[in-house]
Amino acid sequence: MGISVDTPEQTREYMLQKAGYTFTFLSDPKLETIGRYDLVHVKELASGKDISRPAEFLLDPSGTVRWRMVTENFFVIARPEQVLEAAKTLP
């Protein structure tokens, strides 16, 4: 699942229709959840708006974060093999 700072309409239009993502996206325009995970990128250079930093998480069935990758670089994401290796270590 993904979380976007955009409104539900903007998320639907861009993430699902234009970008073609097929997984669930949630909308967090007030940055409430994004802020709880310390992922707010304040005044992003291109837009000047507060947005979410890129991050990936693995949660266990109880919702506890067991692995995370957070970066300042919007072009750096976890490679599938990194996520799979991390998942193998989960209880």
Name the pTM for this structure. Answer: 0.69
Strands 25-27 and 2-4: parallel
Looking at the DSSP assignment, which residues form a beta bridge with residue 20? none
pLDDT, tens digit only, all 91 positions of the chain: 888 888 989 888 887 778 888 888 889 999 999 999 888 888 876 777 888 888 899 988 888 889 999 887 778 888 889 999 989 988 7
| Sign, CA torsion 52/54/59/65 | negative
Report strand pairing: 25-27 vs 40-41.
unpaired
Where exactly are the structural domains of the chain?
1-53, 56-91
